[in-house]
Amino acid sequence: MERFEHFAGLIDGWFWETDDQHCFVYMSANVELATGVAPEWHYGKSRKDLRGDDIDDAVWSDHIDRLNAHTPFYDFRFKRLGPDNTTRWISSTGEPFYDPSGMFLGFRGIGRDITEEVALLQSTAQTQKSLIESERRYRQLYERNKIIVETLPDVLFILDEDGNYIEVITEQNNLLCAEKSVLETKNLFEVLPNQIAEVLLAGIRSSLITGNLFIVEYPLKVPAGDRFFEARITPLRESVDERKQVLFIGRDITERYIADKAKSEFTATVSHELRTPLTSIKGALGLVRSGAIGPLAEKQQSILDIAYKNSNRLVALINDILDIEKIEAGKLVLQVVPMDIVSLIKEAVEANAGYGVEHGVSFVRTGIHAPTFVNGDKVRLMQVLSNLMSNAAKFSPDGTDVELSVACEGDHVRVSVKDVGVGISEDFKEKIFEKFTQEDGSDTRAEGGTGLGLSISKTIVEQHRGTLEFTSEVGLGTTFFITLPILE
């Protein structure tokens, strides 16, 4: 018996034995590890009497039928409380035994704690169920996306960081420069002209470095003829053989390009045609106002002042529209030369002094006075300063100062235009540099404007490799900052 107990301690489970009334008469020691109850506690009890047993009625009925028929049973499963009062799954396997005369004496068998196995099976079943559901949803999404992709007027490619075609997702034969099957073995430089391929490859690498969308337009000769395209390049998270990838979306924008070009040409033509007579009108009004053709009555002077002021506004509007058209067409050319930014500030204060007097403010200069050189277009930078100064004057109280200051910060120079005016509301700050936007867009605002000045100014400063930023607080004023690299 001692040898038997030794062997029983080596198995992953425990031995048990019942009498002919199905009450336990023996239980090996391992049962205590799973149930927390000593083997002797079980003696004289049937399985139904065990601590915390939870057996389904139908399962128990089938089990009793097998016992009464003296039929072996395998993997009879039920739940039972463990030593820490947690629910454990138990598996019991048994078969009947008889005396030499054939009289039934009871059952002998093995019990095992299968809690981990059941948990694994349940988890696997849940995982399989989740996978099936996920696959169903994926198929629905795939079919939906397939329909969407196939109806797109675009071509979609996946390229690696060296410009090699990995996959052609959509096939628009009139846009491709090669068959789809051939294209997937090519590089950008084998498909496109070198100049265009270089721009697109730079866009791919820029997108991968910054993680941002890169957009570029380019002309291209395709089977359909001379066309204009827009490329949108965005990085992908996945990689193939550790190669970084981008999604390349090519769109034919020929019709849009032609329409935009026609619009730009029309706007430029109309603006030029309007500017010539308006300049003459403004000049004539200026002569009359000055008394060059004789003295004017007070009422006449007032009417001429209104006409002259509005002619100024029209000329400014036309100039701004022409500048916007140049910017959008990429034709705003800067005449960049080394120039002293401090001297330019001094000239701007002098040139706009009359405008300040007209609005009841004074322009004052502070900061460094030593010559500080930048590479710049004097006319365009003066345009930026005049715009910032006029805005500050228009929205400042009478009798206040608008301060222009110059300061060196490392290898950059910062020019600030500070007022103590009404400030900029939080809602308007996000769109202050957008075209045709004004915080007070009503006809009753104190001072007019085109809503283009700040947008143009920002572009001019950025073309000087600088930045145009601002800080503002309602009721306390606004400060605009122009930052430019210092010329060594």
313-367 tens-digit pLDDT: 777 777 777 777 777 666 677 889 999 999 999 999 998 998 899 899 999 999 9
pLDDT at residue number 355: 87
Residues 322, 401 within the same domain: no
Residue 129 domain-assigned? Answer: no
Strand pairing category for 14-18 and 401-409: unpaired
| Least confident among 9-13, 158-162, 411-415, 429-433 | 9-13
Last residue of a domain, one of 226, 252, 278: 252
Tokens of 440: 């007070």
The answer to the question of residue 344 being in a domain is: yes
Please state, for a pLDDT cut of 70, what percent of the chain lies above it: 84
**Higher model confidence: residue 271 or residue 18?**
18
Last residue of one domain, picked from the residues 83, 113, 143: 113
In a domain, 143, yes or no: no
277 versus 397: the higher-pLDDT residue is: 397
The 165-168 sheet, strands edge to edge: 165-168, 155-160, 243-252, 225-240, 214-222
Name the region of 75 (left: φ>0; alpha: ψ -120 to 50; beta: rest).
left
Q: Given a cut of 50, is residue 445 above it in pLDDT? A: no
Model confidence at 450: pLDDT above 80: no
**Would the pLDDT of 402 be above 80?**
yes
pLDDT, tens digit, 9 for 90 and up, residues 257-268: 888 777 777 777
Q: 97 pLDDT exceeds 50?
A: yes
What pTM value is reported for the model?
A: 0.47
Domain assignment present for 124? no
Rounded to a whole number of angstroms, the CA Rg of the chain reads 43
Distances from the Cα of 238 to the Cα of 242, 247, 418, angstroms: 9, 11, 49
Q: Check residue 46 and report its DSSP letter.
A: B
Do 321 and 389 share a domain, yes or no?
no
Q: What pLDDT is stored for residue 362 in this prediction?
A: 95
- Domain for residue 119, yes or no? no
Which residue, 212, 228, 252, sits at the end of a domain? 252
- Same domain? For 347 and 475 the reply is yes
Domains in the chain: how many in total?
4
Q: Give the model's pLDDT for residue 443.
A: 37
173 plus 101 within the same structural domain:
no
Report whether 479 contacts 472 (CB < 8 A).
Answer: yes
Domain that holds residue 25: 2-113
In this structure, the answer to whether residues 345 and 465 fall within a common structural domain is yes
Same domain, 247 and 293: no
Q: List pLDDT tens digits, range 176-233.
A: 555 666 677 788 888 888 988 999 999 898 888 888 888 888 888 776 678 888 888 9
- Answer yes or no: is pLDDT of 16 > 80: yes
Residue 139 lies in a domain: no
Q: Which residue has the higher pLDDT, 184 or 285?
A: 285
Q: Identify whether 266 is part of a domain.
A: yes
